[in-house]
A and B are shown apart, each in its own frame.
Chain A
Amino acid sequence: MSLATPLIVLAGNPNAGKSALFNALTGARQKIANYPGVTVERKSGHFQMSDGRPVELVDLPGSYSLDPTSPDEAVTRSVIQGVQEGERKPDAIIIVLDAANLDNHLRFALEIIALGRPVVVALNMVDLAERDGLTLDPAKLEEALGVPVVPTVAVRHRGLDELSAALAKRLDDKAPIKVPAFITEAGTGHERIQLAKKLANQTVISETAGRRWSERADALFLHPVAGPIILFALMFVMFQAVFAWSEAPIGWIEGATEWAAATVDANLPSGFIRDFIVEGAISGVGSVVVFLPQILILFLFILVLEASGYMTRAAFIMDRLMATAGLSGRSFIPLLSSFACAIPGIMAARSIADPKDRLTTILIAPLMTCSARLPVYAIIIGAFIPARDVGMGVGLQGLVLFALYLFGIVGAMVVAVVLRSTVAKGPNSGFLMEMPKYQVPHIRDILLGLWQRAWIFLRRAGTIIFAATVVLWLMLSFPKVPLDSPVSQVEYSAAGRIASVIEPVVAPIGFNHEITLALIPAMAAREVAVSALATTYAIDATDEEQEAKSLTERLQSRWSLPTALAFLAWFVFAPQCISTIAVTRRETNGWKWPSFMVAYLFVLAYIFAGITYWTAVALGL
C-alpha cells in the first residue's frame, strides 16, 4: 500500500453535477491551477473518507467521451489513462452520471469502465429524476456494470457517506479488476450508444409523466417573441442592480477607507511614512476595493443564471445575432462576464470548442465595458455632462454612460467581423450544445463561487494595484522640487518628466499633462486613472484652499469639454490593464496575441479619442 494520499478523480459528462459533487465533498478549500503547458483548469481539493483517511480529489473537465473534441476533453482522457503531465495516475475514478439522462451519460461511463481501472459510479441528481417521474433501480445497474453504484444528490449532500464508503472499499480491494465481457466488446461509438440505451432501459423501472416544469419553462424562455424580451429585461435588471444595490456597500467601504486614513493620520508622526501610508497605500487601494460590491452583484447574477441552466438558453437566443459577427452563442457567456471584468470572461472562453472562435472572443473581451471603467466614466461624466433630463425621465448623464457601453459593444462586433476575415479566418463555426434541465441554484455553490471571485479581485487589489499606486506616489513625490523653484512638484517629479516625453504623442488628441501622467500608472489598471488624477492634483495643490477643492471641481477648471470627451473615448478602447494582458498571454500560450491585442486597442483608442476631440473642437463645444 502506498503512503501517498490517494488521488481520486471525478469524471463525467458536462451537466452531470460533477462540480456540485466536488463542492459537496471538498468544501470551500479548493485549489485552482492550470495543467502545465495547456489552458485547462485543474481543480483540486481534499476530503476525508468515512474511515478518516484523507484523499485528494480532482474535478476533471466535463467530457462526452475519451475521443476528445477539445483541449479540456484531451486532458480528461490523459488523466484517466494516467499519462497527463503534472498528474499522478489516479487511484480511483468516480464517474458522475445524471440519473435522469442515463442513456446519454452511460456511454462515457462504459468507455471508462472498459479500461479496467478502479471505478465507483455516483448516480447523481436522483431527486430530479424522480421529479421527472422516473423510478430507478441502482442495484440492477450495479450488477450489470460490475462496479459499485451509489445514488447521490450532491447539492443536498445526500449519499455522500455511502459514496465515500464505497470509495474506501474500492481502494482497499486489491484483487484484479474483471470487466464484464459485453462492455469490452462494445468497442465502437455506435455499439456503446446501443448498449447505453439498453442498460438505461433496464435501470428505469417505471416512467410516469412527472412534473415537466422544465419543459414548460422553455415554452416561455425560448418563445420566439417572449424569449428575447425576457433576456433583455433580465440584462436590464442586472445592470440596474449593479448600480442600485451597490450604493450602500460602496458607502461602507468609503467610510472604512476614510476612517483608516484618519486613524493613521492621527496616530503617526507626520513625515514620509505617514504620507506613504495615507496618500499612497490606503487611498490607492481603497479607491479600487470600492468596486467590489458592483463586481459581486454582477457575478451573483451570472452565477445564478449559470447554475439555473438559463445561461445556455441565453446562448441559444443570442446565437443568430452572434453569427452575424462570425461568432456563436457560446461567446455570449464570456462576453457577458466581461462586463464585470475581462479576466473571468477570457477564462470562460475556454468552453468554446472552435479555436478561431475562442481567439476572437478573447481578443474582443476587453471591449466590453468592465467595472474598472465605471469610476473613470463616472467622474468625467459627473464633471462635464450636465445632469439634464432629456425627456421621459431619461437623464443625459445616464444616456452618455449607456452610449459608452453601446460604443464598446458595437466596436467589439465590428472588430470581430474584421478578425474573423483576417487573423482568425476560418469556416463559420457551429453551435452544438446541450441545454440542461432547469434547476434551483444551490445557495452554497453560489456563495462559494462569489467568494472565489471576491478573493481573486482582492488579491489583485492587494498586489498589482497596490504596487502601481505606491510606485506612482513615489515617482510623483520625488525628486522634491527646490523651495524657490517656479516649477510645480508634479512637473519636477520623475513621473512628470516621463509624462513630458510622452505628451507630444497624445497632445494632438487633446490630452493635457495631467492626463498623460495618469495614463502611465493606469496601464496597471484602468481605475487607477482616477486615483492618479486625484494624487496628481493633490500633490500639485499650492495652498489649502486649492487642496480643499474636489477632484470634480479641479477637472472642471482645468479640462476643456473636448478633452474630457476624448478621454472617455480613449477608455472605451485602451487596453489599460496588466492583468488582462497577463491572462491573455496565459490563455493563448505566448506573447503573440496579447501583443496584437494591446497594439490594435491602442490604435483604436488613439483614433477614436482623436476623432472625438477634433469633432468636438470643430463643433465649438
Chain B
Amino acid sequence: MNAPVKLAMTLDKLPMRKRAKISAIDWTSMSENEGAQIRNLGLEEGVEVEKLYQGMFGLHDPIALKVGRMMIAIRKLHASAISVDILA
C-alpha cells in the first residue's frame, strides 16, 4: 500500500481554526536570536498549534496562534519557516 501523499503545509498557509502539529522548523532561515524567541514562546517540533486570528485589513499578517494555553503573535515570514501536519 502506498503511504498517504503528504502536501507540504506551512503555518502561514494553515486554514483558520484548524489544529496542526509542527513537523519541522527551518531554523536556518532565521537568526539565532529569533530562533531562541520562537523556542521561548513554546514553538518547536511536535507541538500542537491552532490558528486563531490573522492580521487586519485583509492582509493576513501577523498571525495569532494558540500554543498550549498561550496565545502568541507571529509574522507570516516566520510562520512560513514552520511546517505543520493538519490534525483531523
Contacts and interface: CB of A to CB of B under 8 A. Distances in A.
B57 A320 contact: yes
B87 interface: no
A562 to B, nearest CB: 39
Contacts of B24: none
B73 A319 contact: yes
Contacts of A193: 42, 44, 47
A435 B42 CA distance: 13
Interface residues of B, number: 35
A313 to B, nearest CB: 9
Contact of A431 (B31, B52, B71, B74): B74
B62 A431 contact: yes
A615 interface: no
Contacts of B2: none
Given A428-B77, A430-B77, A353 B69 contact: no
A347 to B, nearest CB: 22
B71 A435 contact: yes
Nearest to B39: A189
B37 to A, nearest CB: 5
Interface in B29-85: 30-31, 33-34, 36-42, 44, 47, 52-59, 61-62, 64, 67-75, 77-78
A190 interface: yes
Name which of A101, A222, A329 has the most chain B CB atoms within 10 A of its CB: A222
A398 B74 CA distance: 39
Contact of A434 (B31, B53, B56, B71): B71
A253 B76 CA distance: 51
Nearest to B32: A69
B43 to A, nearest CB: 9
Nearest to A101: B69
Given A64-B40, A65-B40, A69-B36, A320 B56 contact: yes
A103 interface: yes
A513 B55 CA distance: 52
Contacts of A65: 36, 40
Contacts of B57: 224, 228, 320-321
B62 A100 contact: no
B80 to A, nearest CB: 12
Nearest to A190: B44
B11 to A, nearest CB: 13
A428 B36 CA distance: 17
Contact of A329 (B52, B62, B78): B62
B62 A316 contact: yes
Interface of B is mostly: mixed
A4 interface: no
Contacts of A228: 56-57
Name which of A321, A323, A430 has the most chain B CB atoms within 10 A of its CB: A430
Contact of B55 (A312, A320, A434): A320
A224 B52 CA distance: 12
Interface in A51-87: 64-65, 67, 69
A430 B78 contact: yes
A104 interface: yes
A571 B29 CA distance: 44
B64 A222 contact: yes
A428 B70 CA distance: 25
B75 A431 contact: yes
A318 to B, nearest CB: 8
A218 interface: yes
A24 interface: no
B58 to A, nearest CB: 7
A618 interface: no
Given A228-B57, A317-B56, A435 B69 contact: no
7 contacts: A65-B36, A103-B68, A193-B47, A224-B55, A224-B57, A320-B55, A434-B41
Closest 7 CB pairs of A and B: A64-B40, A222-B53, A435-B71, A433-B73, A69-B36, A432-B37, A431-B75
Given A64-B41, A323-B75, A430-B75, 12 more contacts: A64-B37, A69-B33, A190-B44, A218-B71, A224-B54, A227-B56, A430-B37, A431-B74, A432-B38, A432-B74, A434-B70, A435-B64
Interface of B: 30-31, 33-34, 36-42, 44, 47, 52-59, 61-62, 64, 67-75, 77-78
